[in-house]
Amino acid sequence: MFRKTIGLFSLAIVVLLIAGCGKNKTSITLAGSTAFQPFAEKLAEQYMSTHANVSITVQGGGSAVGVQSAISGAAQIGMADLVVLPEEAKQLTPTIVARDGIALVLNPANKVINLTMQQVREVFNGKIKNWKEVGGADSPITVVSREAGSGTRSSFEQIVTEISLTKDALIQDSNGTIRETVANDPNAIGYLSHGLLNEKIRAIKIDDQECTTELITAGKYKIVRPIFLLVKGDPQGEVKNFIDYILSAEGQNTIKTTGLIPAK
Amino acid sequence: MSLIGERGVRRILAVTAFSAISALLLIALFILNEGLPFIFRYGLHDFLLKSDWDPQAGKFGIYPMVAASLWVTFGAMVVGAPLGVAGAIFLSEFVPKSVMRVIKPTIELLAAIPSVVYGFIGVMVLAPLIRTQLGGPGLSLLAASIILGIMILPTVISISIDSIQAVPQSYREGSLALGATTWQTIHMVTVRAAKSGIIASIILGMGRAIGETMAVIMVAGNAVKIPHSALDSVRSLTANIALEMSYATGLHRQALFATGVILFVVIIILNSFAIVVLRKRVYKK
Amino acid sequence: MRIHPRYTQRLAVTILGGATLLTLAVLVFIIVFVLEKGLPVVNFRFLLTNAEDMGRSGGIFTTLIGTIVLPLLAIIVAAPLGISTAVYLTEYTLETKVTKIIRFGTDCLAGIPSIIFGLFGFIFFVTTLGLGWSILSGGLTLAFMILPTIIRTTEEAVKAVPKSYRQVSFSLGATRWQTVKRIILPNALPGILTGIMLGIGRSIGETAAVIFTAGSSLRLPTSIFDSTRTMAVHFYILAREGLSSENAYGTAATLIIAVLAINLTAYWMMGRFIAKRS
């Protein structure tokens, strides 16, 4: 019986190997920021549809991985969404390709519509524990944050300042899981990339400023971070072409329609 | 096989018999190699017993995760072991063989349902129930215990049934002939004879519970905090590794491997303990 | 106070029966929950088209391939090793220090969390051996993981073969290997297959160890050195990131049906085998 299975298996491998031959493409790997990953995939899809000779792979991993893999060469382009780039990123050429607002989100069942920056700080520090303290219903606040090392979390904490996260905070490891957790819990508050808002959750105003593309562009909504593409040395060849494409009117338009803020 | 001969076969089998232990040693070697340097540098005492986990600030105390892992596993055992063993006894001793033949494969099938499916049901069904009925964030120690308890059921039931059925029929007949009731026969004769298998099934279940990662990440909420009640959100050792691994670099990454070392050691200690208990009882018989 | 055995008997039956019913009810609920939401999504188109837009739309074809190839590789590596280990332990040696160490090692390996296998596979196969995130790394890691399951169940199955069978075989002049080959393994086969099925089941459902070693690429793998994504990983990503609950349930339902098919095949094989022998 095993001989038969092994036979079938090796046959399958041979078929797959043959199927894999005959491709001769330039391949580019992007790695890093999970916040920018879905947009990068969309941009890559569009780019590949007009440039058949290029194959672009987009991987997540987080901003730290973006910096690391660009340095090590594991990826030609690193993606990072940090307010301040780390020291070791000095050897890389950064290009801001977009900006991203960080929205504070609640469950749609929650009636609170506005928090001041100070209130946000105290909620995440665990000083404000109940929604009634900020004008909501009498129910405990469930703080949802990102894991240590997340670019979104460090950006959020750097912009809001003086945050030492409450130990009661639930921790989720991506924008999507934050969104799901908040969507499932009427008492929850979390934060995520402005580009990933959807109908399951509701973004609130910070200091009476709504988290919209217009107000972010106008500089009125304060929680915004840049998105960097990092390349070792000067961008060349297809890598440069792809970055240029992202910065072109068409690329920036994609960024805008998918919910991010254009670089300029 | 006649080409190899009787002695050759023995030799080949003897070599392959070391596959599992070699695998274990290889794993130990690589995990220790990545994690131990950090533990020596940071200090085992601080690493294990400080309750501050703030990698950005260079604080790496995993006491809350150790406590959480032990509680979650304990909770899963409380939920899963009695149900599983009771189910196994009932199915093998009170249910007709023909029905058993359908039910046992069905239960074994459940062992193959991915843990993430259990986790997802925990998030969609159990957590909201706990939040509305009992309070707290819902994603909690209790939710994790129940989900893990359910997850280990197929393992416990399936292996317990096998060992109960392996008890020779003559044992039961002897006991019944002496005038014992079915229940007396079961708990005085059958279960005792099948004890090593039943305990083995619980050990395997325990291994699955303490080692489960994805389902726990989904239902436990992952707060870094020593639990004060079953409704608190907790983060297990496994969750700590999987949550932060993809983002971690430098010291942070080493600390996660060190968390793996602790998990590894805890598991080895638990297993050794269970194995010793198992041996003792076998000898007593 | 002594309660009459007849009442303890009744009490015991009620409690045991209740526990069994509760268990079955919970397990049936889980299956029905998933199938009810997932089955309407599953059709040939869903199975045979690739995922689009990170899985928000499209099907699950590439993850289907990943789910077939990874456990297959794991079993091909682990089954021969596991079965021969078990045969050696039960038939070829007496209880010695060495067998005790081997058993201890096997039990310990069984308890090692999948995340540790993931970390190990990542450091050893992916990084040190340079295999990268690939089917090979993932399959080998899974093989390590299911080895103890196969050893343990095979051991139980082999032990369950009555002593008298061996005595008859030896008295007819058969050697030990002949006895193992002709008497013990065939009689223990149903148990061994159960172990293999449990192993396949565990590899199909595994997420933590697979994500760290085989990666999560949605591309169709062209060789065993390519990264792949299994259905379990796909479901995890879809469900947790809230990408598409429809496709998530569809994936989960497919997974459950696949496992059901594997099990039925195994039982059919077992049945045919038993019929042939009698």
Q: What percent of chain B has pLDDT over 90?
A: 39
* CATH number assigned to the domain covering B46-284: 1.10.3720.10
* Domain CATH number, residue C176: 1.10.3720.10
Per-domain boundaries in chain A: 27-98+227-262, 101-217
Closest to C212 in 3D by CA, of C235, C200, C229: C229
Residue B39: pLDDT over 90: yes
Confirm if B238 and B211 have CB atoms less than 8 A apart: yes
Question: Is A101-217 a CATH 3.40.190.10 domain?
Answer: yes
Note whether B27 contacts C112, CB cutoff 8 Å: yes
Nearest CA in chain C to B268: C108
Chain Cα centroid distance, residue A111:
27
Of C109, C117, C123, the CB nearest to B20: C109
Of A5, A20, A176, the CB nearest to C241: A176
Confidence of residue B266 (pLDDT cuts 50, 70, 90): confident
Please tell me the predicted confidence (pLDDT) of residue C2: 66
Note whether A17 contacts C79, CB cutoff 8 Å: no
- Stronger pLDDT, C89 or A6, i.e. the higher one: C89
d(CA B232, CA B64): 12
Q: C259 to chain B: which residues are within 8 Å by CB? A: 109, 112-113
The string of pLDDT tens digits covering residues A1-43 is 444 555 555 555 544 444 444 445 678 888 888 778 888 888 9
Residue B1: pLDDT over 50: no
A126/C contact by beta carbon, under 8 A: no
Note whether C105 contacts B263, CB cutoff 8 Å: no
Q: How far is B46 from chain C (nearest CA, A)?
A: 23
In this prediction, residues B37-44 reach a mean pLDDT of 92
Q: What is the DSSP string of B111-130?
A: HTS-HHHHHHHIIIIIHHHH
Q: A174 to chain C: which residues are within 8 Å by CB? A: 240-241
Note whether C85 contacts B20, CB cutoff 8 Å: yes
Q: What is the DSSP string of B186-254?
A: IIIIIHHHTHHHHHHHHHHHHHHHHH--HHHHHHHB---S--SSTTS-B--HHHHHHHHHTT--HHHHH
The mean-pLDDT minimum among B139-153, B188-202, C209-223, C252-266 falls in C252-266
Could you tell me the two tokens for A206? 């910070």
Closest to A43 in 3D by CA, of A3, A80, A97, A4: A97
Residue B256: pLDDT over 50: yes
Number of domains in chain C: 1
Chain Cα centroid distance, residue C50:
26
d(CA C251, CA C37): 10
Q: What is the DSSP string of C139-160?
A: HHHHHHHHHHHHHHHHHHHHHT
Q: B127 to chain A: which residues are within 8 Å by CB? A: 184
Q: Give the CA dihedral C33, C36, C41, C44, nearest 10 degrees.
A: 110
Residue C128 is classified by DSSP as: I
Please tell me the predicted confidence (pLDDT) of residue C240: 82
Size of interface A-B (CB pairs under 8 A): 74
Nearest CA in chain B to C111: B207
Note whether A5 contacts C80, CB cutoff 8 Å: no
Please tell me the predicted confidence (pLDDT) of residue B278: 59
Confidence of residue A66 (pLDDT cuts 50, 70, 90): confident
Q: A181 to chain B: which residues are within 8 Å by CB? A: 139
CB-based burial label for C132 (10 Å; 0-12, 13-18, 19+): middle
Nearest CA in chain A to C216: A59
A14/C contact by beta carbon, under 8 A: no
Touching chains, A (3+ CB pairs < 8 A)? B, C
- For β-strands A114-115 and A77-80, DSSP reports them as unpaired
Nearest CA in chain C to B209: C113
Confidence of residue B285 (pLDDT cuts 50, 70, 90): very low
Note whether B213 contacts C114, CB cutoff 8 Å: yes
The string of pLDDT tens digits covering residues A92-118 is 999 999 988 899 999 999 999 999 999
pTM summary value: 0.82
- For β-strands A142-146 and A188-193, DSSP reports them as parallel
Q: Taking the CB of residue B283, how many other CB atoms lie within 10 A of it?
A: 6
Note whether C222 contacts A38, CB cutoff 8 Å: no
Residue C273 lies in a domain: yes
Nearest CA in chain A to C215: A59
Q: Give chain B's mean pLDDT.
A: 86
Confirm if A94 and A228 have CB atoms less than 8 A apart: yes
Q: C204 to chain B: which residues are within 8 Å by CB? A: 112, 114
Could you tell me the two tokens for C261? 């098919």
CA within 13 Å, CB half, A32? 32
Q: C82 to chain B: which residues are within 8 Å by CB? A: 19-20
Chain Cα centroid distance, residue C229:
18
Please tell me the predicted confidence (pLDDT) of residue C107: 81
A68/B contact by beta carbon, under 8 A: yes
In this prediction, residues C91-112 reach a mean pLDDT of 84
The mean-pLDDT minimum among A5-14, B45-54, B193-202 falls in A5-14
Note whether C222 contacts A19, CB cutoff 8 Å: yes
Closest to C24 in 3D by CA, of B106, B75, B146: B106
Q: A179 to chain C: which residues are within 8 Å by CB? A: 242
Residue C94 lies in a domain: yes
Of B123, B222, B249, the CB nearest to A64: B249
Of C27, C115, C202, the CB nearest to B110: C27
- For β-strands C57-58 and C51-52, DSSP reports them as antiparallel
Q: How far is C91 from chain A (nearest CA, A)?
A: 22
Please tell me the predicted confidence (pLDDT) of residue A10: 53
The string of pLDDT tens digits covering residues B224-235 is 989 999 999 999
Q: A152 to chain B: which residues are within 8 Å by CB? A: none
Could you tell me the two tokens for B203? 């050990």
Please tell me the predicted confidence (pLDDT) of residue A7: 53
Residue C48: which domain range?
Answer: 44-277
Q: Give chain C's mean pLDDT.
A: 85
Of A17, A175, A177, the CB nearest to C222: A17
Confidence of residue B282 (pLDDT cuts 50, 70, 90): very low
Packed helices C97-111 and C135-159: angle between N→C axes, nearest 10 degrees? 130
Residue B283: pLDDT over 50: no
- Which of A87, A167, A180 would you mutate first to test chain B, the one with the most B CBs within 10 A? A167
- Stronger pLDDT, B280 or C37, i.e. the higher one: C37
The string of pLDDT tens digits covering residues C238-273 is 888 777 888 889 999 998 888 777 777 766 766 666
Quickly tell me which residue has 């397990």 as its tokens: C27
- Which of B125, B126, B243 would you mutate first to test chain A, the one with the most A CBs within 10 A? B243
The mean-pLDDT minimum among A179-188, B98-107, C100-109 falls in B98-107
Of B54, B128, B223, the CB nearest to A184: B128
What interface predicted TM-score (ipTM) does this complex get? Answer: 0.83
Nearest CA in chain B to C207: B214
Q: For residue A189, what are the β-bridge partners? A: A106, A143
Confidence of residue C77 (pLDDT cuts 50, 70, 90): very high
Q: Which helix (H) or strand (E) holds B21?
A: helix B19-42
The string of pLDDT tens digits covering residues B153-179 is 988 898 888 888 888 888 888 988 988
Per-domain boundaries in chain B: 2-43, 46-284
Fold type of domain A27-98+227-262: D-Maltodextrin-Binding Protein; domain 2 (3.40.190)
Q: How far is C191 from chain B (nearest CA, A)?
A: 9
The mean-pLDDT minimum among B49-53, B112-116, C160-164 falls in B112-116
Note whether B13 contacts C87, CB cutoff 8 Å: yes
Note whether B127 contacts A180, CB cutoff 8 Å: no
Q: Taking the CB of residue B196, how many other CB atoms lie within 10 A of it?
A: 15
Note whether C224 contacts A12, CB cutoff 8 Å: no
Q: Determine what percent of chain C falls in helix, strand and coil, rounding each to the nearest 5.
A: 80, 0, 20
Sign for the CA dihedral angle at A238, A239, A242, A247 comes to: negative
Q: How far is A19 from chain C (nearest CA, A)?
A: 7
Confirm if A149 and B248 have CB atoms less than 8 A apart: yes
Confirm if C46 and C250 have CB atoms less than 8 A apart: yes
The string of pLDDT tens digits covering residues C142-175 is 999 999 989 988 888 888 888 888 889 889 988 8
Packed helices B63-93 and B141-165: angle between N→C axes, nearest 10 degrees? 40
Q: A6 to chain C: which residues are within 8 Å by CB? A: 76
Residue type, C233: V
Touching chains, C (3+ CB pairs < 8 A)? A, B
d(CA A104, CA B37): 40
Closest to A92 in 3D by CA, of A233, A241, A243: A233
Nearest CA in chain B to C206: B114
